Amino acid sequence: MAAIETVRQEPPRPSLFNDPAVRGAVYQIFVGLLVVLFFVWIAQNAAVNLAAQNKTTGFDFLWKTSGFAISFSLFPFDRTSFYWEAFLVGLTNTLLVAVIGIILATALGFTIGIARLSSNWIVARLATVYIETIRNIPLLLQLFFWYFAVLKAMPAVRDSLTLPFDMFINQRGLFVPKPLPDEQFFWVYIALALGIVASLIVRAWAKRRLEASGQRFPIFLVSVAIIVGVTGATWIVSGANVAFDPPVLNRFNFRGGVELPPEFVALAFGLTIYTAAFIAETVRGGILAVSHGQTEAAQSLGLREGDRLRLVIIPQAMRVIVPPLTSQYLNLTKNSSLGAAIGYPELVNVFAGTTLNQTGRAIEVIGLTMAVYLVFSLITSAIMNWYNARVALVER
């Protein structure tokens, strides 16, 4: 019986233009060329317009004397300082209010978000009213309210309101004690850093132990004990000392302490209150995304309500919470530019405002300002993406 040979015929090859891979590459190259030509046209148009107005370009203006003062700065700045120092002041002021706002908004947002799911009717309704009220009022109006209607309505310096821990508040801002650590306090900082590193090592070991044996380890208590113990022992051994210089009222103003201007207080408070409302909704949605069976399983193990939330619900909800939480952090950082409306010397006010008006270098100033916000956003996104990868569920 003769073997029947089957001849496999290759399918007809499509024409080069109908090949999806080739066609996709052609489209991408074409769009890329259009984008490059667009930016080349913009650059040439800007060069022609600047030449017609007899204007020069470059960043040499950064090393010229600014000629203006800044009301609030983390380091000395006066009229004889350079424009690059003004840029640095705006940068640090923006970073300061953004970091403080992110920390406070996260703590407040998680608290309000959990409170909205509370079984206590009053607590849940109060959290709902806070969220629905704050997030539906424009942030700029809220900043105006805190600055003009609250802080500027405070009493004069002589009638300052006294707060706990030798703090005072009046029309000129918030006055707090100034810490004055001595030279030996440097070793306390080193010990604190070593304690944090040691606690992270213990945390990693405890996690591996839990995965291998199922036995839990009191990570939080041990970590706190390590940090406090190492830092406290170093503090005692080194003989370090920190004193506090409290603000003292003189005839017309306070002497000593640290003065936080009302612009800074209003911006930090407004950003915290506003962003916390959105973070609270993110937290609520993340908790509701966790299957109710997880709560029932935790209840069957005899865990208390606080332990169920801390050990079971929140860790699983974080994979849902982190992505929108990243967006809220980015929004808070960029919304700090609204501080220019109430006179806070952040980057837009100091650099994209005063510096631009005095130098006329619009392209360079705006370009640097955009680059700063881009770098802030990329760094924040990178950190949150790294954390999101750590809390993501991994199938075994």
How confident is the model over 77-101, as pLDDT tens digits? 999 999 999 999 999 999 999 999 9
Within a domain: 246? no
Q: Residue 1's pLDDT is what?
A: 47
What are the strands, taking DSSP E only, across 32-187? 161-163, 167-170, 173-176, 178-181
Residue with tokens 């190492």, as numbered in its chain: 230
Tell me which residue range forms the domain holding 339. Answer: 85-155+259-372+380-391
47-68 per-position pLDDT tens digit: 788 778 777 778 888 999 998 9
Give the lowest-confidence range in 104-118, 236-250, 292-306. 292-306
For residue 31, pLDDT over 80 is answered with yes
Across 289-296, average pLDDT? 78
Within a domain: 290? yes
Instruction: Give SS3 for 153.
Output: coil
pLDDT band (50, 70, 90) for residue 291? confident
181-206 per-position pLDDT tens digit: 888 888 888 998 998 998 889 888 88
- Residue 54 pairs in a beta bridge with none
Within a domain: 308? yes
260-289 per-position pLDDT tens digit: 999 999 999 999 999 999 999 999 999 888
Higher pLDDT, 12 or 230: 230
Give me the CATH number covering residue 119: 1.10.3720.10
- The Cα angle at residue 317 between residues 311 and 318, in degrees rounded to 5: 95
pLDDT band (50, 70, 90) for residue 382? very high
DSSP class of 6:
P
What are the strands, taking DSSP E only, across the chain? 161-163, 167-170, 173-176, 178-181, 242-245, 248-249, 254-255, 258-260
Q: Residue 22's pLDDT is what?
A: 76
Please state, in angstroms and rounded to a whole number, the distance separating the CA atoms of residues 230 and 198.
10
Across 335-356, average pLDDT? 92
For residue 374, pLDDT over 80 is answered with yes
Across 318-327, average pLDDT? 90
Which pair of tokens denotes residue 303?
């865990």
Residue with tokens 């004690």, as numbered in its chain: 177
Give the lowest-confidence range in 216-220, 287-291, 321-325, 334-338. 216-220
Higher pLDDT, 360 or 8: 360
Please state, in angstroms and rounded to a whole number, the distance separating the CA atoms of residues 227 and 131.
36
- Residue 242 pairs in a beta bridge with 181
Domain count, the chain: 1
Number of H helices, E strands in the chain: 13, 8
Across 314-327, average pLDDT? 88
Which pair of tokens denotes residue 385?
């993406």
Axis crossing angle, helix 314-335 with helix 83-116, rounded to the nearest 10: 140
For residue 339, pLDDT over 50 is answered with yes
Within a domain: 64? no
For residue 12, pLDDT over 80 is answered with no
Within a domain: 46? no
Q: Residue 271's pLDDT is what?
A: 96
- Percent of the chain at pLDDT exceeding 70: 94
CA atoms within 13 A on the CB side of 160: 24
DSSP class of 289:
T
Q: Virtual CA dihedral for 74, 79, 85, 90, nearest 10 degrees?
A: 60
Please state, in angstroms and rounded to a whole number, the distance separating the CA atoms of residues 70 and 87.
11
Select from 349, 128, 160 the least CA-distant residue to 248.
160
CA atoms within 13 A on the CB side of 137: 18
Average pLDDT, the chain: 86
- Burial label for 267, CB within 10 Å (0-12, 13-18, 19+), is buried
Give the lowest-confidence range in 174-178, 274-278, 380-384, 388-392. 388-392
Asked if 163 and 206 count as a contact pair (C-beta separation under 8 A), the reply is: no
Residue 301, C-beta contacts closer than 8 angstroms, at least 6 positions apart: none
For residue 6, pLDDT over 70 is answered with no
Which pair of tokens denotes residue 91?
């940068």
Within a domain: 148? yes
For residue 130, pLDDT over 80 is answered with yes
Within a domain: 328? yes
Within a domain: 223? no
Quote the longest CA-to-CA distance of the chain: 120
Q: Which DSSP string do the residues of 32-65 spell out, in sequence order?
A: HHHHHHHHHHHHHHHHHHHHHTT---SSGGGGSB
pLDDT band (50, 70, 90) for residue 387? confident
